[in-house]
Structure 1
Amino acid sequence: MLDARPLLLALFLVGAAPALAEEVKVAVAANFTAPIQAIAPEFEKATGHKLVAAYGATGQFYAQIRNGAPFDLLLAADDSTPARLESEGAGVPGSRFTYAVGSLVLWSADANTLDGSDAALRAGQFKHLAIANPKAAPYGLAAIQTLEKLGLREALEGKLVEGQSITQTHQFVATSNAELGFVALSQVYRDGQIASGSAWIVPQALHEPIRQDALILKRGADNPAAAALLDYLKSPQAAAIIQSFGYQR
């Protein structure tokens, strides 16, 4: 007689696998949109869990999380917001770590506007300079710090246009509503070079480091998918993807 036990065991395992998979809802800083979209399928393939992402400004996510937004994990554009949430009891103690260090870039959709230096910024021959809201987006704050360090903030104040997130700021420049804009390098960098337009990569010395921290939130404390994603972000596989978008680790 045919032994049915192996078949029954196989059917049990197939039926059980989906039950072991969980979903992790992640609040993702807008600058990290492209990297997390590249990471998500690899994470899901490796773990069986599902990643559901929402994108926006870190400051806005802070307010949403404090008001009960159903996120399991925060991938912030700074290190201060996760630290604050952890200290306020909204995050899992000890789960916070720096998953990426961002780079600021002055970018134009026109390939001839920037020559790899700050010359065009200093010349001021443009109508609009886009930055992200410095109160909500760390890249916007870094842009203001850069202008101050260069002694240009007062001279260019009247030309600044603010996006509510770094995504909107990028759109202002991509659609030529602003000739120049300070955006995240990850938004315009592919395969080791600027993908389109022209740019000046801002030296790190001109602004505070953009350390981007991850934190498991209180809602995700018992979610194995949240812990799995945090572990995956520390892996060599994730590091390679993150660095391919111009971040440091």
Structure 2
Amino acid sequence: MKMSLIVAAASVLGLAPVLSPTSGAQADELRVLAGGSLRSILTELGPKFEQASGHKLAIHFDTTPNLIKAVTAGEPFDVGVVPIDVFYDPVAKTHFAPPVEFARVGFGVAVKAGARKPDISTPEAFKETLLAAKSITFLPASAAGSYILRLFERLGIEDAMRAKTVAQDQPTGIVPAVANGEAELAIFVNNVLIAPGVDIVGPLPAKYQQELVFPAALAVDTKQKDAAKAFVDFITSPTATVVVKAKGMTPGKS
């Protein structure tokens, strides 16, 4: 009976090809480490996976430096859906099985909803807009933030930007800071900027555009391997990619 109910739920959600629980299998709680900018996507996909599979998810969202710290300190987890920068750390990388690409996303600029949209259509206009802004907000201590800081250096405006930056410690603070007038501009990955209270001005000029990649991988020492694999299969399934695209990201390739 338990299996038939789960399979029925999977069928309703369009997940039958991905999730196929075995009869009598116990539900597992999966500990997931995830990039903070994936919050809106995984909080939507998570309940669908739980309903279809019977497993429970405990998702910890955090910045890239904190994720690296957690992994290298031996914090237990079953799955990581993290910025690729986590894999650049030689110690952190050893804690993951070979990854598949979950999604990727480019960078954009946003203003308060209804505000005038500045010109960022060319490299010159983008630089002028940044210099003219009274304040900007982003998350410096993140993979996306690291790229933005390098971009400011590349433009030769790092000192000017430092003086007007309203730094956030989590991605969830970026949109509210612009919506409530604390910052004039937000610059970050597009999926975070797709939210009520702000309007996206547009993507960065092609010369400065870059995509941030988010791999998904099992922990090498997970004791919930089947359930963890089912979760990764689900978030890379056709059903899940509909949500990924709606949230402003490009689904990855396994």
Q: How high is the TM-score relative to the length of structure 1?
A: 0.78
Do structure 1's residue 106 and structure 2's residue 109 form an aligned pair? yes
Tell me what 1:181 maps to.
Answer: 186
Deviation string 1:152-190 (CA, Å, 9 cap, x unpaired) is 434433212322232233333233221112122112327
State the distance in 1 between where 2:59 and 2:182 align. Answer: 28
State the distance in 1 between where 2:162 and 2:126 align. Answer: 16
Tell me what 2:41 maps to.
Answer: 35
Tell me what 1:202 maps to.
Answer: 204
Relative to structure 1, the CA distance from residue 99 to residue 63 in structure 2 (aligned partners, 3 Å threshold; closer, same or farther) is same
After superposition, residues 126-205 of structure 1 pair within 5 angstroms as 126-133=133-140, 136-189=141-194, 196-203=198-205, 205=207
| 1:20 aligned counterpart, secondary structure | coil
State the distance in 2 between where 1:160 and 1:214 align. Answer: 31
Do structure 1's residue 217 and structure 2's residue 219 form an aligned pair? yes
By how many angstroms is 1:98 displaced? 1.3
Relative to structure 1, the CA distance from residue 127 to residue 31 in structure 2 (aligned partners, 3 Å threshold; closer, same or farther) is same
By how many angstroms is 1:68 displaced? 2.4
Aligned length: 231
CA contact (8 A) 2:178 2:198 kept: no
State the distance in 2 between where 1:85 and 1:18 align. Answer: 40
| 1:197 aligned counterpart, secondary structure | strand
Do structure 1's residue 236 and structure 2's residue 238 form an aligned pair? yes
CA contact (8 A) 1:28 1:55 kept: yes
| 1:220 aligned counterpart, secondary structure | coil
State the distance in 1 between where 2:87 and 2:32 align. Answer: 13
Q: How high is the TM-score relative to the length of structure 2?
A: 0.77
**Equivalent position amino acid for 1:55 in 2:** F
CA contact (8 A) 2:86 2:93 kept: no
> Which protein is bigger by CA-based radius of gyration?
1
Tell me what 2:32 maps to.
Answer: 26
Relative to structure 1, the CA distance from residue 143 to residue 46 in structure 2 (aligned partners, 3 Å threshold; closer, same or farther) is same
Structure 1 gap ranges (5+): 1-9
Question: RMSD of aligned C-alpha atoms?
Answer: 3.0
By how many angstroms is 1:110 displaced? 4.0
CA contact (8 A) 1:113 1:120 kept: no
Relative to structure 1, the CA distance from residue 141 to residue 233 in structure 2 (aligned partners, 3 Å threshold; closer, same or farther) is same
